[in-house]
Structure 1
Amino acid sequence: MEKVYIYDTTLRDGSQAEGVNFSLEDKLRIAQKLDEFGVDYIEGGWPGSNPKDTLFFEKIKKIKLRHAKVVAFGATRRPGKKVNEDPQVENLIRSGAPVVTIFGKSWDFHVTEALKTSLEENLQMVYETVSYLKNYFQEVIFDAEHFFDGYKNNPEYAMQVLKAALDGGADWVILCDTNGGCLPHEVYEITKKVLESFPSAKVGIHAHNDSDCAVANSVMAVLAGARQVHGTINGIGERTGNANLCSIIPNLQLKLGFRVVGEENLKKLTELARFVSELANMPLPKNMPYVGDSAFTHKAGVHASAVLKRSETYEHIDPSLVGNRRKITVSDMAGRSNLKHKLEEFGIKVDENSPELLKLVEKIKELEKEGYHFEAAEASLELLCKRHFGLVKNYFDFDAYRVLIAKRHTDDKPVSEATVRLIVEGVKEHTAALGNGPVSALDRALRKALEEFYPNLREVHLIDYKVRIVNESEGTSAKVRVLIESTDGRRKWGTVGVSENIIEASWIALTDSLVYKLLKDEEEGLT
């Protein structure tokens, strides 16, 4: 099988989507997930453009990735400037990334109107920047910005831009549909012409989705000979988004027979999609192909009856190939095998026909109906499973909590105070604490009650806190899902809580976070 290389730009292009704001910790966690999934390149951002992207490249060096190459993104040198005197080019080198991607103009209209320079100067900018960066990076990738529009307007000049990059030593030239307006037949024909003109070049595709053709355009480019595909998880990105890797990868691997990621890795696709959705704080559309909740859902009637006899009657693939599951709305029969596999990861062996496994499946389904999602909160899932089988000891008994928020006309900010009553090892603990918000106060009071008995909880720090409305139509009575990320300096984990009351949802996630730490330390013999 021929290999197609996947280049993920979720952390750069994806973060430009309206409403998406990844924290540094989000970006590092997503990078690790992408690496585990098997993407070939992870574009981390534009070093020097903002402090977060610069810090990302510093932090990612300390994380050992197993497969993916980290990529720094930037531009060609500026017009009229020497390449070795351009600060943004030097920032790319300082990033320490093994691979760099630079974009340059390939549409003559952009050169004269946006850059306000000559066509010849633009060719020199491309050649000199690529050539210079080849001295510092394992690979240099050139993004030919607006290539398809440029080719349609002035094919000779667009090709000259590619030649300048290749003459400079570019390892890949990427054809970009930056405005997202091209149609699949155009992408196929133009990509073919590029490969006929440069038969030894390694060519890729970078498509945006403004005409809802980004996935189709990417697939057509591969059929024309492109072997690197750029995109984002769930297709997030500026305007209407980027090419959706969650559709492109299975299309290439399952439908066209290309080697993209490992077969076992492909089964993690739905998990990856939901993970990124949670951290982006952007709901995953139910009807998203392959990974959406409704992608393999069948209502009662002809469809449901047929699919239960032969799944291929109304399913284009086996949902388990991408880690999703079939759902029959009146009698959901899926989930046991996936859960059994997860239990084995948690060290729990159970027969697939065990009544306890069936009860756990039903319990998880009920929680999902309430609004729980465990993809980015695996610590809560592990606790749920282990509690079901009696494998989590009772570290403390809950009695009560109370949270007060007060603001007087003389106060600049509200004051939050929480009190917590617990029974720990037979001892009644009644503590109070102030915080910069109600959840902060609750967290401090809870810790104050527990740290005397479990000093290792002092290692735990909350690194992120997200709130999402589960059922938007209910207005102020809607349920909320709280996702908390924690670390003890050695590992990171996510916990989740759901309730109509944001404080209660936070309490559930907070207590799970601390109990998970106690459980894992106990399992590892650290307590």
Structure 2
Amino acid sequence: MSVLLYDTTLRDGTQSEDISFTVEDKIHVAKLLDEFGIHYIEGGWPGSNPKDIEFFRSIKQHNLKNARISAFGATRRAKLTCDDDPSIQALLESEAPVACIFGKTWDFHVTTALQIELHQNLEIIEDTLAYLKKHVDQVFYDAEHFFDGYKANPDYALQTLQAAKRGGAEYIVLCDTNGGTLPFELGAIIEEVKKQIDTPLGIHCHNDSELAVANSLTAVKHGITQVQGVINGFGERCGNANLISIIPNLKLKMGIDCISDEQLRKLYHVSHSIRELANMAEWKNQPYTGKSAFAHKGGIHVSAILKNPDTYEHIAPEIIGNQRRVLVSDLSGRSNIQYKIEEMGLDIDINDPSVQELVNTIKELENQGYAYEGAEASMELLLQKSRGLVPDYFKLRGYRVIDERREQDKEPISEATVRVEAPNGDTYHTAGLGNGPVDALNTALRKALEQFYPVLNEITLIDYKVRILNTTVGTKAKTRVLIESTDGKTRWTTVGVHNDIIRASYLALVDSIRYKLYKENI
């Protein structure tokens, strides 16, 4: 048996009240998911907002290895034909090879939300799918509120699935949209569906009863072969089925090779990278990929773990890219560094003494608030600097940042001055204005450095994220800054941490500059 993984982080996941991806974020997430081995990536709803339209335009410029891009949308409106419906036409204009259409399954929604006759809804479902089938490679049908609809009116719920089948849906996805179905109910209903529907079935669960993962696995146990979900369980209300838990459970507990062993080792990296891009706080106790998922502190546990990890671990953490942490003796670290070295394709001997020194350095930096899963460029600089391969490109001799509002109704003016020393000993003193203090500091710093490193004029800063790490101390809180940069050919992300947000920003800016110079072999 095989199972197809359908990720909707970029659509359903963004409905979480705390998440707002930029187009660049969405491209980054899609590339991570593709390398991870996800089969389908739902990029968004092209008829709903300009950002999703831009994503579908931009993603075509990237060659994905494993995944197909899917566009999400609704069945046509009752008073329009598919040719006249703007949302349907937006799906076609996205040029996504896959379309996933949701329609009403619960009679209550048909008569109350759509306010149309039940037979009209059946016609709309069939007509929409048949129309799209002529224009895209694959069409999937999300049967919204299916389990609630089935429990209220099983005959009508099954009629909507039959309409989807007649329309040519290649997968009919049963949705627990309100997240209130129990696993034993879900399994029994799926068995009834299979008696009347021979189209391949998928599952889409929400987590309002904290059963989305359990229901998804139950569905697979009952023969469903497409699982929809979101990385880290992001989503509206209580979230969606968490693929970070579903995937290892399918592969390691149920023996279903939905991704390869090599791809499974990226689970931790994918989970943390996307959490950082979403600017969401760390979930230390997240199953499989949380920092505490394989952390051991109790004396009896630690004693047993040191003899045989199987005593208190349900899997080996290395299988999914995590690591064991024995808190009382602070043992661990090298395996995680080794994974990052291999992932980056660097020629570094794990037995090199500098690597162990680096492990200790990273532990100390992580205690200070640094996080490298979303800042691969800073991580690579650390690795190579420990081996003496990153030159001292310049020295900071000082900087000053002024943010001044001169008139009540005028915008503030941000100005920065910087003094840096070049490798030849020359000192450069420059000033710059910007849209805010960080932009002014970046302008002044670049103005100084470009005088002896002209290649830096290729860099553009495209994203800037701030995370408050210890919220209980108010304005004294420590800040983590993530900066994403590009030179038009590649993108890279760097990190800085400090109690002073300007200093944290400076550290991330400097890493971005050093990474560019290092990659240029200067």
Q: Same fold (TM over 0.5)?
A: yes
Equivalence for 1:275:
273
Cα distance in 2 for partners of 1:337, 1:45 equals 37
Residue pair 1:142, 1:174 contacting (<8 A) in 2 also: yes
1:364-513 pair list within 5 angstroms:
364-425=362-423, 426-513=425-512
Equivalence for 1:170:
169
1:290-369 pair list within 5 angstroms:
290-346=288-344, 348-369=346-367
Q: Deviations over 1:153-196 (max 9, x none)?
A: 01111111011011111000000000111111111111121122
Q: Which amino acid aligns with 1:155?
A: P
Residue pair 2:322, 2:336 contacting (<8 A) in 1 also: no
Cα distance in 2 for partners of 1:400, 1:23 equals 34
Cα distance in 1 for partners of 2:343, 2:251 equals 26
Residue pair 2:485, 2:491 contacting (<8 A) in 1 also: yes
Q: Deviations over 1:410-449 (max 9, x none)?
A: 4522111101000113211000001110000000000000
Equivalence for 1:219:
217
Q: Which amino acid aligns with 1:25?
A: E
Q: Deviations over 1:236-285 (max 9, x none)?
A: 00001000000000011000001111111111111111111111111131
Equivalence for 2:122:
123
Equivalence for 2:519:
520
Cα distance in 2 for partners of 1:169, 1:309 equals 57
Cα distance in 2 for partners of 1:345, 1:96 equals 32
1:207-246 pair list within 5 angstroms:
207-246=205-244
Cα distance in 1 for partners of 2:474, 2:391 equals 38
Q: Deviations over 1:103-151 (max 9, x none)?
A: 0000000000000001100000000000000011111000000000000
Cα distance in 2 for partners of 1:85, 1:218 equals 36
**SS in structure 2 of the partner of residue 367 of structure 1:** helix
Q: Deviations over 1:315-370 (max 9, x none)?
A: 11101111111111122322212312433455654444443221111111111111
1:89 paired with 2:88, answer yes
**SS in structure 1 of the partner of residue 71 of structure 2:** strand
**SS in structure 1 of the partner of residue 273 of structure 2:** helix
Cα distance in 2 for partners of 1:373, 1:159 equals 49
Residue pair 1:406, 1:415 contacting (<8 A) in 2 also: yes
**SS in structure 2 of the partner of residue 39 of structure 1:** coil
Alpha-carbon spacing, 1:345–1:39, altered in 2? closer, same or farther (3 Å):
closer
Residue pair 2:355, 2:386 contacting (<8 A) in 1 also: no
Cα distance in 1 for partners of 2:188, 2:362 equals 49
Q: Give the stretch that moved more between structures: 406-415 or 156-165.
A: 406-415
**SS in structure 1 of the partner of residue 147 of structure 2:** helix
Residue pair 2:32, 2:270 contacting (<8 A) in 1 also: yes
Q: Which amino acid aligns with 2:38?
A: V
Alpha-carbon spacing, 1:185–1:316, altered in 2? closer, same or farther (3 Å):
same
Alpha-carbon spacing, 1:81–1:410, altered in 2? closer, same or farther (3 Å):
closer
Q: Deviations over 1:464-494 (max 9, x none)?
A: 0000011222222111100000011100000
Cα distance in 1 for partners of 2:290, 2:489 equals 33
Cα distance in 2 for partners of 1:435, 1:391 equals 33
Residue pair 2:122, 2:163 contacting (<8 A) in 1 also: yes
**SS in structure 2 of the partner of residue 282 of structure 1:** coil
Q: Give the stretch that moved more between structures: 137-146 or 329-338.
A: 329-338
Q: Deviations over 1:14-49 (max 9, x none)?
A: 001011110111001000000010100000001121
Q: Give the stretch that moved more between structures: 337-346 or 178-187.
A: 337-346
Cα distance in 2 for partners of 1:351, 1:21 equals 40
RMSD: 1.2
Cα distance in 2 for partners of 1:409, 1:341 equals 54
Alpha-carbon spacing, 1:346–1:280, altered in 2? closer, same or farther (3 Å):
closer
Residue pair 2:323, 2:335 contacting (<8 A) in 1 also: no
**SS in structure 1 of the partner of residue 110 of structure 2:** helix
Residue pair 1:416, 1:441 contacting (<8 A) in 2 also: yes
Q: Deviations over 1:178-219 (max 9, x none)?
A: 011111111111112112222x31100000001110000100
1:40-189 pair list within 5 angstroms:
40-189=39-188
Equivalence for 1:193:
192
Cα distance in 1 for partners of 2:27, 2:304 equals 44
Residue pair 1:99, 1:140 contacting (<8 A) in 2 also: yes
Residue pair 1:300, 1:328 contacting (<8 A) in 2 also: no
Q: Which amino acid aligns with 1:481?
A: R
**SS in structure 2 of the partner of residue 114 of structure 1:** helix
Residue pair 1:106, 1:150 contacting (<8 A) in 2 also: yes
Equivalence for 2:10:
11
Cα distance in 1 for partners of 2:81, 2:340 equals 55
Cα distance in 2 for partners of 1:344, 1:42 equals 26
Alpha-carbon spacing, 1:30–1:348, altered in 2? closer, same or farther (3 Å):
closer
Q: Which amino acid aligns with 1:298?
A: H
Cα distance in 2 for partners of 1:514, 1:369 equals 25
Q: Which amino acid aligns with 1:295?
A: A
Residue pair 2:390, 2:518 contacting (<8 A) in 1 also: yes
Q: Give the stretch that moved more between structures: 208-217 or 184-193.
A: 184-193
Alpha-carbon spacing, 1:108–1:215, altered in 2? closer, same or farther (3 Å):
same
Any runs of at least 4 consecutive aligned residues in structure 1 with deviations exceeding 3 A, and if so which? Answer: 344-354
Residue pair 1:234, 1:284 contacting (<8 A) in 2 also: no
Residue pair 2:6, 2:229 contacting (<8 A) in 1 also: yes
Matching residue within 249, 263, 266 for 2:264: 266
Cα distance in 1 for partners of 2:90, 2:476 equals 49
Q: Deviations over 1:288-338 (max 9, x none)?
A: 100111111110401111111111111111011111111111223222123
Cα distance in 2 for partners of 1:159, 1:20 equals 35
Equivalence for 1:33:
32
Residue pair 1:379, 1:494 contacting (<8 A) in 2 also: yes
Cα distance in 2 for partners of 1:474, 1:295 equals 27
Cα distance in 1 for partners of 2:478, 2:514 equals 24
